[in-house]
Amino acid sequence: MSRLRVFAATGGQPPLQTLDRHADIATALRALGARFERWDASRPIEPGASQDEVIAAYRDDIERIKREGGYQAVDVVSIHPDHPDRAALRAKFLGEHTHAEDEVRFFVAGRGLFNLHIGDKVYELLCERGDLVGVPGGVQHWFDMSEAPYFVAIRIFTNPAGWVGHFTGSDIAERFPRLRPAASQAATTA
């Protein structure tokens, strides 16, 4: 189940707020300038699927959002627990960073954990199959796929170069829960 937990940016526990209804999550994130939507992810895609397979399966959705937002670049991150580069890929996204543009990500399989650092709060968003999230350009954030990742996400950008992260050098991500692997795909976080 998708979930939004709000924490003080100092890393304090417990969360200040927890939301698990999609409409409530969308409303809370919209107030911050972020996007959260439920999309149809019914095509049979599994982690490890090639970029071409995923793009072909979701071509109509991709083209629609490209037209709506003026997006130019599309790529696919498809990672399973046995992926040989999973540790390096996880480390790449765990550092707090920004983008000059919006980052849009549609989960067609599995799950991942976005953390948006806005003002004095951190908004931890657990995304699952069917969730589309849009992180506004300039927003400090990080992403955790867990040490045993299992997800396929389509990423859409206005920059033709695709994903270009600008790392803040902050260690804030180390103070927040990580996505824990689970035997089933109904994972929880610490």
Q: What is the number of domains present in the chain? A: 1
Q: Is 129 within the bounds of a domain?
A: yes
Q: Where are the beta strands (DSSP E) in 119-184?
A: 121-128, 131-135, 140-144, 151-157, 166-167
Q: Is 182 within the bounds of a domain?
A: no
User: What is the residue range of 42's domain?
Assistant: 3-173
Amino acid at 107: F
Q: Is 29 within the bounds of a domain?
A: yes
Note the pLDDT tens digit of each residue in 118-154.
Answer: 999 999 999 999 999 999 989 999 999 999 999 999 9
Residue 29: give its domain's CATH number: 2.60.120.10
Q: Is 113 within the bounds of a domain?
A: yes
Q: Is 178 within the bounds of a domain?
A: no
Q: Is 42 within the bounds of a domain?
A: yes
Q: Is 106 within the bounds of a domain?
A: yes
Find out whether 155 and 105 touch, Cβ atoms under 8 Å.
Answer: yes
pTM (2 d.p.): 0.89
Note the pLDDT tens digit of each residue in 147-190.
Answer: 999 999 999 988 776 677 788 889 999 999 899 885 544 333 44
Q: Is 22 within the bounds of a domain?
A: yes
Note the pLDDT tens digit of each residue in 12-66.
Answer: 789 999 999 999 999 999 999 999 999 888 888 877 778 999 999 999 999 999 9
